[in-house]
Structure 1
Amino acid sequence: MKIRLEVLVSITAMVTAVAAVVVAILQTQVMHEEASMEREHQRLSVMPALLVYTGSHIGDDKGSFNVGLVNQGIGPAVIESFSAKVEGVESADWEELVAQGTGGQVQIAGDARNVDGVTLSDLTPGTVVPAGENVVPIKLDTTPENAAILRDFSDRLVVSVCYCSLYEECWNTSNQRARPTPVKMCPSRRGDAG
């Protein structure tokens, strides 16, 4: 009877030890999953989502045109590249792009300028667009006739932006695309339309 009691105690000790090892393994897996979920939450909590848009207004005696982008995400967007093209042709700046895109009918600078007000904002690499912020690279106040020309111009205008989150996840978007497309990295900036 004494041997059986010792065997029973040692079997119980072995079962307890195996159970402790199983619990430790399960606890490690749970902790790993929790850490992974926490990292994912942190990544998502700084995810930007840029929307690029064009807008125009044609009133009775005034008109306007603008290109803008708004960060609809919950984290800041770091602009890595920005380009504006009309029918596949990129210009050195907005002055040249608007003149080419409107067949010279709208001039935003120089002696031939025929718009009332011009507001330009440069989107250089490294520009940070905070969540909820709106940036307007170009805004023109003009006549209703010029605004109509600019509305046609906006149908042919492709404004592309490549941006990254603080975790260096990157996306490319444009005024021709409803959703940003994930990319491995943003291309180097080849030209500046701002």
Structure 2
Amino acid sequence: MTYRKWYKNPEMIVALSALLIGLVTAFTSIYSAYVDREYSRASVWPRLEIFRSFSGDSFSYGVSNNGTGPAIIKYAKVHDGEKYVKAWHEIEPFEDIIQSHISTRTLSPQNSVKPVAYQGESADALATADTSITIELCYCSIYEECWVIDKSNRPTSVQACMIEDEQKFLQ
């Protein structure tokens, strides 16, 4: 009886081939699941943009979602000069304006909302006041990936949307 080395045994070659095929299949499945998960996240990625409109006798702020998924706005922060404001009417030129709720809302893809709109003779005063106003929004995707954006429209990724109560804009 001749003795063969274990790796030259036909049964062992078949077993090792099956093991290799199984490992390649497992790695392929894992990578495919990773790609599918990334695709799912990308297919519902929100992208908020804050814009200002000023034309003669009208002034407005707007927020649009130009992404592919809904933006869940967790908070808004409005800062005027040295203080945080809770409502638009706390900013002197913004006392007589039409307002819409912006904080804690969901904005669908390809939609926009105008949190401030004014039509009248004081539009110049609102545009002048705009230079001292900063607006910050924190929003998340349905997968709880969150970003902070301001009037520069450069989103910054954050772990979670956290804000102190005295800084929270309530409208």
Same fold (TM > 0.5): yes
Of residues 90, 103, 111 in structure 2, which corresponds to 1:133?
A: 111
**Structure 1 residue matching 2:58: 3-state secondary structure:** strand
**Structure 2 residue matching 1:152: 3-state secondary structure:** helix
For 1:29 and 1:107, the matched residues in 2 are separated by 59
Per-residue deviation, 1:81: 0.5
Of residues 88, 103, 106 in structure 2, which corresponds to 1:124?
A: 103
Task: State the partner residue of 2:47.
Answer: 49
| Contact persistence 2:53–2:59 (CA under 8 A) | yes
**How many residue pairs were aligned?**
167
Cα separation, partners in 2 of 1:181 and 1:78, compared to 1, 3 Å: same
| Contact persistence 1:67–1:137 (CA under 8 A) | yes
Q: Which segments of 5 or more consecutive residues in structure 1 lack a partner in the other structure? A: 100-105, 110-117
Cα separation, partners in 2 of 1:79 and 1:142, compared to 1, 3 Å: same
Per-residue deviation, 1:155: 2.1
Give the aligned residue type for 2:162. Answer: P
For 1:85 and 1:43, the matched residues in 2 are separated by 32
**RMSD of aligned C-alpha atoms?**
2.0
**Structure 2 residue matching 1:123: 3-state secondary structure:** coil
* TM-score using structure 1 length: 0.79
Of residues 135, 138, 147 in structure 2, which corresponds to 1:171?
A: 147
Task: State the partner residue of 1:157.
Answer: 133
Please say which structure displays the higher CA radius of gyration: 1
Q: How does 1:19-168 map to 2 (within 5 A)?
A: 19-58=17-56, 63-97=57-91, 99=92, 106=93, 108-109=95-96, 118-125=97-104, 127-143=105-121, 146-168=122-144
| Contact persistence 1:84–1:193 (CA under 8 A) | no
| Contact persistence 1:54–1:154 (CA under 8 A) | no
Give the aligned residue type for 2:126. Answer: L
For 1:168 and 1:189, the matched residues in 2 are separated by 20
| Contact persistence 1:77–1:129 (CA under 8 A) | yes
**Structure 2 residue matching 1:136: 3-state secondary structure:** strand
* Large movers: runs of 4+ above 2 Å: 106-109, 188-194
Q: Which segments of 5 or more consecutive residues in structure 2 lack a partner in the other structure? A: none
Q: Percent identity?
A: 25
